[in-house]
Amino acid sequence: MAFDKTFVTRINITPDDLSQLGIAEELPELEKWEAAFKIFETDEDEISKFLKRYKSIGIDSVDKKLVVAELFCGKGNSLVALERLGFKNLIGVDLSERLLSNYSGIAKTYVGDCLNLDMLNNASIDIVIIQGGVHHLDNLETSLPILFNGISKILNKNGKFVLIEPWLTPFLQFVHFISGFRFIRMINSTICAFAIMVFFEKKTYKQWLNNSKNIYLALQSFFIVKSTKKEHGKIFITLSTKS
We report the CATH number of the domain holding residue 101 as 3.40.50.150
Query: Does residue 55 sit within a domain?
Result: yes
The strand pairing partners of 231, in sequence order, are 234
Burial class (CB in 10 A: 0-12, 13-18, 19+), 89: middle
What stretches in the chain show pLDDT beneath 70?
1
**Given this model, what pLDDT does residue 191 score?**
97
Query: Does residue 103 sit within a domain?
Result: yes
**Given this model, what pLDDT does residue 1 score?**
57
Q: Tell me the pLDDT tens digit for each residue of 12-28.
A: 999 999 999 999 999 99
Number of domains composing the chain: 1
Query: Does residue 142 sit within a domain?
Result: yes
Query: Does residue 1 sit within a domain?
Result: no
Say how far apart CA 72 and CA 74 lie, in whole Å. 6
**Given this model, what pLDDT does residue 242 score?**
87
Query: Does residue 63 sit within a domain?
Result: yes
The residue range of the domain holding 25 is 8-241
pTM to 2 decimal places:
0.94
Query: Does residue 2 sit within a domain?
Result: no
